[in-house]
Every structure is written in C-alpha cells, then in structure tokens.
Structure 1
Amino acid sequence: MSERKPYPSDLSDEQWALIEPVIAAWKAGRRSVSGHWGSYVMREIVNAILCQGRTGCQWGYLPHDLPPGSATYYYSARWRDDGTARKICVLLRWHVRESKGRLADPSLVVLDTQSVHAAAGVSASTTGRDAAKKVPGRKRALAVDVLGLVIAVVVLAASTHDNTAGIALLDRGTVTKAPADQGFKNSVVEHGARLGIDVEIVERNPANRGFVPQPKRWIAEQTYGTLMLHRRLVRDYEHLPASSESRVYWAMTAVMSRRLAHGPAPSWRSA
C-alpha cells in the first residue's frame, strides 16, 4: 500500500489478512495473457469500497489518494456479479461464529424488513412506495443470526409485500427456525413449512406503547442500526438491487473483520 495518511475506514493489517486470501485467489485466476497483475493494489481497492460505504460519497468524490472511482466501481461490480463480495462476508461470518463457540451455519435466523428512500437517480422500475410506512424507495430484507450477523439479504421495491421478501430469504438459507414480525403472513409460514423451517410470527403486545424490543426480533433491529452507521446504506443510491445487496455484504465485512481483529467498533457518537 502506498504511503498516505490512513482513513478511519481503512483495513488494518490484521483485517486485510482475513480478506486477502480470497482476493488473491480471485486475482490469480484473472491474470492477463501478458502476466500483468494490474495497476492497482487490491487492498486499496477494498479500502476505497469501504470508504465510500462508510461516508456515502459518490464514485467521483472518492479521495484522490485512493484508486479512482472508475477502477473502484469496476472491481466492486465484478465482485458483486461473481459472488466474491458475498463469499468474503460468509467466510468472515463462519469465522466469527466459530470464535464464539458456535457452528459455522446457524439453525435459527430472524427475519425483518426495512424500507429506505431511493436516491433521485435510481430507476423507477426497481422502486415503489411502502404503503404502511409511507416510504418511496426500496425494501431491504434481512435474515440474521443470534449474533446479529447477516445470513441473507434481499432488496426489492418498497411496494413489495413482506411475504415476497420473506419467501425469498427462506429460499437462500438452510435453517430450522425463523422468528419474524407480524408484517409477514401465513404464506411465509406455509412456505417455511414446505422447506422444513418453523416460521414463528412474533406478535406485538397491543398493550405496549412506543418502542418495545420484541424477543429475538430485536437482534434484527440492532443489525439495521449497525448498518445505518454506513452512510451509503441510509438511502439507496444503487441503480441495481444487486448492488444494494452487495453494499450490505461490504458493510458486514467491515464490521466482522474489525471484530475478529479486535479493533475499535464504530459508535453512534464519538467521545
């Protein structure tokens, strides 16, 4: 990595050591016929992706001492399309779970959805209006484990019913139990039953006033809160829903690699 003043979002040596084997294997399989490895340091490309995710800046506004937006976007899109971004996230999740004495794959996930506004440049064909939450944009659906780690993410138009999002999430995992909020209906429960998954709809106590954390379901809310520390996710700026999903994987990669390297966790407020 070239000598420059580091940004808070930069990977430490310990974090990069966790990610580098996947990136190095990917790069080795795409060496040019002339044997050229490319002009950019892969660690700096990842730093640029994480910097943009944390700050929310546009591609053309990336700091000048990081790789240019055109190069960063190229690799981000390649890693989105061939599953590398998700692969890194999955491997780190396995590592975190095993470090906590758990099996690599969970048996229980919590399902939840979040509707976020879409930026002006996002295609109307991939957005809609969430009638219940009165949010025009996209719906981000997560399946998270008991540690709050993302198991699966699906991004759809905000007008899409939670049932559709829940069914898509269940199709992406192999679990036995899935608590979900009351926005999910019988079709999700029935689809889960066909897959051998016990979907439990956690009803809100009508006597409660204001925000009251629900058993198990609060874990998904906590994960959404953590993702909101990454400003690129506060609003959906991505033209493709697949890019929005990839952004979630990169945000979780930053969170999990920091945990594994025992680095300082990002907080809502500085001291």
Structure 2
Amino acid sequence: MLSQSTISEPVGATSATRACDCYVHQFGAIGESARPAYYPTDMTDAEWAQVRASMPVPAWLEGRGGRPEEHCHREMIDAVRYVVDNGGKWRAIPADFPWWRAVYDFFRRWCRHGYVRELYQRLRRLERQRQGREAEPTAAVMDAQSVDGADTVRADSRGCDGAKLRDGRKRHVLTDTLGLLLEVTVTPANVHDSKAAPELIEAFMAEPGRMLKLVWADSAYQGEAQAQAFATHGVKVEIVRRSDGTRGFVVLARRWVVERTLCATRRSVCIPGSAGRNSEGGFWAG
C-alpha cells in the first residue's frame, strides 16, 4: 500500500522553489514562485534563460495600455507547454499552475498581439545562430500533412482528403534546412497542396528581413503557375523526385527534413502565428 508521503507529490517533484526574473516578478507586485519544477514539460533554468532573453516586452510595461499582470510568465508558459504536449483540456490544467482561465486568457492575449509569434521567431533565429547559420534562411523545404479532425471541428473548416483517407484539416508547413518551422497555414484537408503554397510563401515573405531564395518540395508543387507564384517573391521552387522504379519508404534528399518535422508534430502543433489563422489566433491543428 502506498503511504501518504508517497502520493503527496508527483513523481520527480522537488522541494526547492525556482527563482524567476520574468517581467512580472521584476516590475509587478508578486512574490517568488512557490511551485517546484516536476513536470517533464517544465522549462529548465537553462531553457528559461534563453526564453527570458527573447521575451517581448508587454504592452503594460511600455505604457501602451493594460494593467500589470498578476501571474509569473514562466509559470504561464510552462502551463501552456503542458497543455500542448499532453493534448489536454484547458480546464484540466493541474491545480499547482495558475487558474486555467488565467492561462487561457494569457495565451489568447499573447497570440492576439503577436507576442507568441515574436517569441518563437526570436528563439528560431537564436538557434540558427547557435548552429553557425545566418539568422534568416535562404533555403527552405515545404510539405503538407492531412490529419483527422475532432468532432468539434466545424464543417466549414474541414474536408476529406481522398488520397490519404483523412477527414479533417491539412497542415501546410515551411521549414528551414534544420527542420525548424518557418511558417504554417491550416486549411480543410481537401485543399490541394499547390493551392495553399502561394499563401504560405506570401505569409512568410511578408515580414521584413526575409532572405528566402529557394524552396525544395515534392511533385505536388510542380507546374508553371506554381513557379510564377513563387517567383513573385523572388523564390525558386525545386522539385525533389523519387527515382523511377523505387518502392516503399525511401529517404529523399532535402525532403526528409520537413518529413521529420511533420512526424514530430503529428499529434498536435502550436506554432505562433498571426490572428486570423484560426479561432485561437495562433496555429493550432489536430
């Protein structure tokens, strides 16, 4: 029989509290966090240091409106990571995190103001520079993946992909050559890859400082119309084909990178995006 002391804390829990230097702790009126780190999705101190250095400054701190927040940013981000990784409901957030409604409102507000996207893009550039690359890529890989939609997915935002036998939505993704996501759009599953590609490229190239010149893709993106749509943004599309006569699984040059990324996001994906991509104001699919 398990003793009370055995079940009083989750596996891996520690008694040490974590110091936090987020904006709310520095300029707000809250005390130190009392929640120890014990969930696998919690950021380590090293990870938080990277995130903290890339955090966008909240509007309330720059005098652009709003009131100071009441919850630690580190705890809020850990709570969002917990929901995304476990695929759980917002209402099912463990009680040792801030109230679920506060976490949900935090996520919605940050998506609406572009903070989540800004944070992700800063971390992506930082990781590229850490690996000896330029902050912005000149080459990328494109692909799409159809996934079944839940019963709650509205009929006007879902469709049937007859080739993959999927009834739901389709993720159209653009990654750099390291497999880091650059852009994501979500459409009904019956939208062909080539129809969504121009919007995907346009969304990525719309932001200043983009240096993309070449995109590798599969044969779904071939054709003169597709090439012209890419050329509008100064981007060339190069089709990577399977060798004639090959059967079964084959690792294809360049394309394997985006396939690996799609595999990693098979269950769910939360990629920071601009408002209007979907109902959450960010990129959610699944």
Is the 1:126–1:241 Cα contact (8 Å) retained in structure 2? no
The 3-state SS of whatever aligns with 1:18 is: helix
Q: What's the offset of the Cα at 1:166?
A: 1.1
Aligned-partner Cα distance in 2 for 1:242–1:104: 30
Select 1:193's aligned residue among 222, 231, 236: 231
Letter in 1 for 2:51: I
Aligned residues: 240
**Cross-structure match for 1:124:** 155
Q: What's the offset of the Cα at 1:244?
A: 8.1
Letter in 1 for 2:216: P
Is the 2:160–2:190 Cα contact (8 Å) retained in structure 1? yes
Aligned-partner Cα distance in 1 for 2:136–2:64: 33
**Mind listing any 5+ residue stretches in structure 1 that lack a counterpart?**
249-271
Task: Please show how residues 160-179 of structure 1 align to structure 2 within 5 Å.
Answer: 160-171=191-202, 172-173=204-205, 174=210, 175-179=212-216
Q: 1 or 2, which has the higher helix percentage?
A: 1
Select 1:78's aligned residue among 85, 106, 109: 109
Select 2:240's aligned residue among 178, 202, 208: 202
Select 1:66's aligned residue among 82, 97, 102: 97
Q: What's the offset of the Cα at 1:92?
A: 0.8
**Cross-structure match for 1:181:** 218
The 3-state SS of whatever aligns with 2:173 is: strand
**Cross-structure match for 1:157:** 188
1:232 aligns with 2:263: no
Q: What's the offset of the Cα at 1:76?
A: 1.1
The 3-state SS of whatever aligns with 1:25 is: coil
Distance 1:17 1:103, change over 3 A: same
Is the 1:139–1:155 Cα contact (8 Å) retained in structure 2? yes
**Cross-structure match for 2:61:** 28
Q: What's the offset of the Cα at 1:232?
A: 3.5
**Cross-structure match for 2:10:** none
After TM superposition, the score normalised by the length of structure 2 is 0.77
Aligned-partner Cα distance in 1 for 2:167–2:63: 40
**Higher RCO (Cα < 8 Å, 6 or more apart):** 1
Q: What's the offset of the Cα at 1:128?
A: 1.1
Letter in 1 for 2:134: L
Q: What's the offset of the Cα at 1:123?
A: 1.4
RMSD across aligned positions (CA): 2.4
Select 1:148's aligned residue among 179, 185, 188: 179
